[in-house]
Structure 1
Amino acid sequence: MQSMNFPLKYAARNVRRHLGRPIHLVLDWDGTMTTKDTMAVLGDLPKSTYLRKLHESREGPKPSRNGDQENESGKPTKRQTPLTAHGNESLSKANINRLDGYPGSQWNDLGTAYMKDYHAHKAAHYPKSDPVDHNEYVKWLDSLRPIEYASAQRAMSTSHFRGVRSSDVESHAKDAIETQKVTLREGCITLLLMSVSNCTDYVPPTGSKVSIISVNWSESFIRWALYHAVPEESQFNSDERTNLLKYISNMEIHTNEIDGLDRLEGSSGTLNGHIRTAKEKSHYLPPARKYCQDEQELPLMVYVGDSGTDYECLRNADVGIWLNDCGDGSVKERFRDTFQPLDVTEVTPFHVSEAKVLGQCGEKTWCLWARSLADVGDYLERLGEPQTTA
């Protein structure tokens, strides 16, 4: 079953947005492309592994080189009969909890340990003055690095993701989209389509692309979630849909990953990657034109993010867009809360609908503001129009 909210959101803005200039759009994942954090959903991934193992023990699957079943084409086969609460496929919550080694509430314990570390670190290292300037804020964000890496190490030491395969990640992502445990923001699909040819009258400007940078796990989960969120052909132009699915399959996604997903025995539980802080996110940011005056053929680099870990990317992009679905009257308060303890008293993030020129992003107003990804799409389309003088 396709998630019902997604086609409706696509249809609500069923006007194809066109880029009028080359733009490299870089998006955060959690809270930016999605309506909320997805870590809890990802933490429940081992459940899909154990469901798959139970199913295999009953069906006796033929293993393939990448640890999944194969059909005659050599591609991984999807589970034909889903596990339900009826008949021989009965699997209650009690049955799940009795599976050997099933993590149960382990992820909650890992989250509790993380928060304990975070609050202890904050008590000892949070800036003494409030607010602070740019340098002090960057220093504070970077100080969180040991906490983030300790959390990843804790997940590895408990072997939380041991045995997980690629097929488990796909089925888990598909289920998360269909049950709306993961919901993409309004305008997300339309925004991606701006960099995809429609096979008829629209070809994106040369150099235009979309990529993702996330401190979350995993690249595979993010890609499959996007793939399964694309509306069915009955509610979508078939050529656009085909091209978009191909685009999602090949787009750049920089994040951390569960190691060994394609092995027959699944992952060892090791977590790879070094994208866990605001500074580390910024290391994966593509070059911005404002820093490459001799390379003006570069596409304009636009970054969209919603939280403190996006700060350095927002500052270093040609155009940074802070995403928050607040009302006009609460923008300053939400902005201050997002980047606390940064001094934002002189920062007024213009809504993208009010941004007439690129010059409105400067040292003091270092980012714009959008309520939704649909707003971002409107703004990117307008960037191709002749710019007025401030």
Structure 2
Amino acid sequence: MSPLLFRKLPLRSLSAFSTLLSYRASPTMPLKPVASPSSPVHWILDWDGTITSHDTLDALVNISATTKPNFPTLKHWNRVTQAYLDDYTTTLAELAPGGALPKTVEEEKTLLESLQVVEQRSLDRVSESGIFQGLTKEQLSQGANTAITSQQIQIRTGYVDFFNHIQSHKTNFHILSVNWSRHFILACISAAGAELRLDSIYANELQGIQEGTSSNGHISPDGNTKIVSSGDKLQCLEHLRSANLTSGKSSQIVYIGDSWTDIECLLAADLGICIRDDPMGSSQKRLAEALERLGIQCLPLKDWEKSDKWNVVWARDFDEINEWAQSTGR
């Protein structure tokens, strides 16, 4: 499910993402606290609404629309958006009659796994619409740079300083996103002054972009990774965790996200940090409501040592996170 489509869902709806975690799958499973400042940290961050103040999918679609003014890009975009909402609403009503949403992690797991097909159908509609057909890597980069300089895309307060701090400590860092182009993410990050290697970004890609040819409009996984749901993001996180262990590192994972598509990673990380505006945006509110519904405490970051076994907290921005990282030696 795309970041933009997800935020158009009704407030009582659940995010349609796939298999819930096997690691920490039970509310009674003991969790490892982030306690030792001497332990290295592996930072994993969501992109849309986390590093950025808002979703960037509109900007991505607008880049494509600008490159082919005679193609009805926005008309097709509105059509596939509505088709997704209709599909999601119908499927959720069948799986959770009367809006009876789960109260436990195990129940949530069953429901969310059943909703995975909705995400794939949406991805197929976007690919078949031709919205991104003909787009090139150069156009993506130029469009991303324009979006950053014009502030159509805004990087969150404190992010660049936070990134520079963890880079100075040579800390592991990855972006993990359901966005449809990791080259687009890279171009935005670079334009904002936070240089990053492409292989530090786990996201989908428009087919043809990686090869340097014009895209055929299909959204395909980059390598063997398809990331369209929270369950897909969790698989990537666990892959990174396994890679740490294989290389002899015992890094503690800190995951930062803002919405439903981040919930599994927030629960699986050694520390999960929810980004919350004041007032909270609709997707942030859904995440907060879900944590409460599942009985998961979410304290302010400054009170992280008092958190329950799930170790999920919240922060306003990256200034706050950077202050915490420096004060705890991370």
Interval containing the TM-score (normalised by the shorter chain) = 0.7 to 0.9
Instruction: Indicate the RMSD between aligned Cα atoms, in angstroms.
Output: 3.1
Alignment of 1:103-252 (within 5 A): 103-126=73-96, 129-197=100-168, 204=169, 208-230=171-193, 244-245=194-195, 248-250=196-198, 252=200
**Letter aligned with residue 320 of structure 2:** D
Distance 1:136 1:340, change over 3 A: farther
Tell me if 1:377 matches 2:325: no
Give the Å deviation of 1:250.
Answer: 4.2
1:267 to 186, 203, 215: 215
Alignment of 1:22-101 (within 5 A): 22-50=40-68, 96=69, 99=70, 101=71
Q: Which runs of 5+ in 1 are unaligned?
A: 1-18, 51-95, 198-203, 231-243, 386-390
Distance 1:259 1:109, change over 3 A: same
The more displaced of 255-264 and 272-281 is: 255-264
TM-score w.r.t. structure 2 length?
0.77
Whole-angstrom distance in 2 between the partners of 1:129 and 1:289: 34
Distance 1:118 1:322, change over 3 A: same
Tell me if 1:352 matches 2:296: no
The more displaced of 167-176 and 126-135 is: 126-135
Distance 1:49 1:264, change over 3 A: farther
Tell me if 1:366 matches 2:311: yes
**Partner in structure 2 of residue 80 of structure 1:** none
Whole-angstrom distance in 2 between the partners of 1:104 and 1:288: 37
Whole-angstrom distance in 1 between the partners of 2:118 and 2:283: 25
Q: Which runs of 5+ in 2 are unaligned?
A: 1-36
Give SS of 2:202's match.
strand
Provide Cα deviations, 1:37-72, integer angstroms capped at 9, x if missing partner: 11222122322433xxxxxxxxxxxxxxxxxxxxxx
**Partner in structure 1 of residue 250 of structure 2:** 298
Whole-angstrom distance in 2 between the partners of 1:35 and 1:148: 24
How many residues of Structure 1 are paired with residues of Structure 2 in the alignment? 288
Provide Cα deviations, 1:322-345, integer angstroms capped at 9, x if missing partner: 111236xx89x9977325556547
**Letter aligned with residue 190 of structure 1:** D
Distance 1:264 1:115, change over 3 A: same
Distance 1:269 1:351, change over 3 A: same
| Contact 2:291/2:298 (<8 A) preserved | no
| Contact 1:131/1:342 (<8 A) preserved | no
Whole-angstrom distance in 1 between the partners of 2:167 and 2:101: 45
**Partner in structure 1 of residue 22 of structure 2:** none
Tell me if 1:338 matches 2:287: yes
Whole-angstrom distance in 1 between the partners of 2:283 and 2:46: 18
Whole-angstrom distance in 2 between the partners of 1:264 and 1:288: 27
Give the Å deviation of 1:265.
Answer: 5.4
Give the Å deviation of 1:185.
Answer: 0.7
Distance 1:229 1:361, change over 3 A: same
Give the Å deviation of 1:170.
Answer: 0.4
Distance 1:268 1:368, change over 3 A: same
Whole-angstrom distance in 1 between the partners of 2:60 and 2:86: 21
Provide Cα deviations, 1:155-197, integer angstroms capped at 9, x if missing partner: 1212221111100100111111122111111111112112323
TM-score w.r.t. structure 1 length?
0.66
Whole-angstrom distance in 2 between the partners of 1:226 and 1:214: 13
| Contact 1:350/1:369 (<8 A) preserved | yes
| Contact 2:103/2:294 (<8 A) preserved | no
Distance 1:366 1:176, change over 3 A: same
Distance 1:149 1:265, change over 3 A: same
| Contact 1:33/1:184 (<8 A) preserved | yes
| Contact 1:49/1:165 (<8 A) preserved | no
Give the Å deviation of 1:349.
Answer: 1.5
